[in-house]
A and B are shown apart, each in its own frame.
Chain A
Amino acid sequence: MIDTENLTRKFGNITAVENLTLHVNEGEVFGFLGPNGAGKTTTVRMLCCLISKTSGKARIGDFTIDNEADCLKIRKMVGLLPENVGLYDSLSAYRNLDFYGELYEVPNDKRRENIERILRLLGIWERRGDAVGTFSKGTKQKIAIARALIHDPQVLFLDEPTANLDPEASKTVRDFILELKKEKRTIFLNTHNLDEAERLCDRIAILKTRLIVVDSPKNLERGIQPKTIVHLEKVNRAVMTAVKKLPTVKNIRTTGNKMILDVDDPEKENPKIVRAVVTAGGNIKFVTELRSTLEDVYLKLIKEAEER
């Protein structure tokens, strides 16, 4: 649904996005992670035909971002939730959505139907006549999402949809994104929130001007060696020797009475490790597993990118 090839954008001497090549499948929730200034918003703006590219190619569906005729079609088929909600505070929620529905060329009946359906789904239909300025940040964010959906877009770009929201509002927005995921829309999610990315995204790209990696959250987490930690009454040489003999244990180190073992599949290997330790006379207090989180992976990759 979204394809880019060596997409690059420079602002004067500064390169915001460099040689970005990626493919986002139809119906996929695609997470776009990166620190501030990594080029996430610039990428979204290029893909939504809001700013031009410096070089490279990009397509949304059958349309390229190169010419104005295609750009009008792209803008019609995508919905954008920018970082700032950008609603008209003095107008009502309904009028805000109605205005955008008009600009997206949604027929009158369909527009009314869509506004009612989305506002009911978000639980704000009863307050549709209230000026947007009277709403909380969370409710404004919901209305902004409703605005991005008013024309039933095939592709949805969400730029930091839960930034600055309280936990309850964040959860509402996340739940709503999960609902959208069920509708098989293609969702391009820019976020700093790793937990959110992990929960919502089918695949995640990590960007720091250049694309660092694209993979599923599970595969990314596997990128850092999982560990089994054996808490013993006392670590002794016999136990160490027994564990070292296990072929699936890659590395062993000890801290105090803990043995930290690098193993690819802790769930599968732990019974063998326990058996070896007990056979060697070790007294196990308990065994824990240390799996890397998306945060570990993200921080590692970003650090490596900075060092390069």
Chain B
Amino acid sequence: MRLWKSWKIAAKDFGIFRRKKILLFSLVALPLALSTGLPAIIWLLIIRRAIPPATIIALLNAFSFFFVILASIIPIGLASYSIVGEKVEKSLEPLLATPTTDDELLMGKNIAAFLPSIAATYAGAAIFMVLVDATTHIQLGYLFFPNWTMAVILLLVAPLACIFSIETNVIISSRVSDIRAAGQLGGLAIIPFGAIYVLAEARFITLNETNLLIISAVLFIADAVLFYLSRATFRREEILTKWK
């Protein structure tokens, strides 16, 4: 595989994303809302002296997982647009006529959705961590971030969740011909992460490093299966003869 070709395809998609306000909004608004909104909640609770340090720590651990959910939400729009957008503009045929392999094209589409999504997640997480430390270090007596839990979340779980969402959306995008429908169905990719969060809040599981590593291992396998399925879907023959 020639990665430079995939990069050219991704770079073209970046150029298109830059011109789509709704995609830019999803890349900026949601991470910004989370990264400022969650510390604001903590700050309000602290100034009202409503919670003890132990509760603050529990809340911060729960909030940290929001960045896994964020990493699965942001690619929905990008991956849907990247593929269904090509269908809508009927640009797949000339693209497939170039001396580029199916895998290079698919990798290009993956990179186009992955890099902005993970960059926005990391930027949001960085703002979140700085604001949380600024808000809580007096109350806790130390800087809560960085910590190992957040490191596992950002370096393992979030990227794997992002890939999970992208591959799910590649498969969904092959079955629909409308960007909005692709986006709505693509929302299914968030369900597993929402479910993990609910289970953690209901105290069925704890989101500690060990459990996060187990979640990462399961996600890695799921990603591998989904990647295999999306590769099977993203074949020239399939695209031109079976895609809607």
Contact = CB atoms under 8 A, between A and B. Distances in A.
Contacts of B237: 51-52
Contacts of B20: 90
Nearest to B239: A50
A160 to B, nearest CB: 13
A103 B94 CA distance: 11
Contacts of A51: 236-237, 240-241
Contacts of A49: 236
Contacts of B241: 11, 51
Given A11-B241, A90-B19, A50 B93 contact: yes
B89 A99 contact: no
Nearest to B97: A80
A74 B8 CA distance: 21
Interface string B159-179: 000000000000000000000
Given A68-B101, A78-B97, A91-B12, 6 more contacts: A86-B90, A87-B89, A90-B20, A103-B100, A104-B98, A104-B99
Contacts, number: 76
Interface in B75-122: 89-101
A192 interface: no
The list of the 4 closest CB pairs from A to B, nearest first, reads: A84-B90, A86-B91, A103-B98, A75-B99
Interface in A17-51: 45, 48-51
A137 interface: no
B237 to A, nearest CB: 5
21 contacts: A48-B97, A49-B236, A50-B97, A50-B240, A68-B101, A72-B99, A76-B99, A84-B90, A84-B93, A85-B90, A86-B93, A88-B89, A90-B15, A90-B16, A90-B20, A91-B15, A91-B19, A99-B8, A103-B8, A103-B9, A104-B99
A100 interface: yes
Nearest to B17: A90
Interface in A140-161: 144, 147-148
Contacts of B5: 103
A82 B99 contact: no
A57 interface: no
Contacts of B89: 86-89
Interface residues of A, number: 33
A42 to B, nearest CB: 9
B14 to A, nearest CB: 11
Contact of A100 (B15, B93, B94): B94
A132 to B, nearest CB: 9
Interface in A231-257: none
A222 interface: no
Contacts of A102: 8
Interface in A50-85: 50-52, 68, 72-73, 75-76, 78, 80, 82, 84-85
Nearest to B16: A90
A105 interface: yes
Contacts of B19: 90-91
Contacts of A91: 12, 15-16, 19
A75 B97 contact: yes
Contacts of B97: 48, 50, 75, 78, 80, 82
Contacts of B91: 86-88
A95 interface: yes
Contacts of A103: 5, 8-9, 95, 98-100
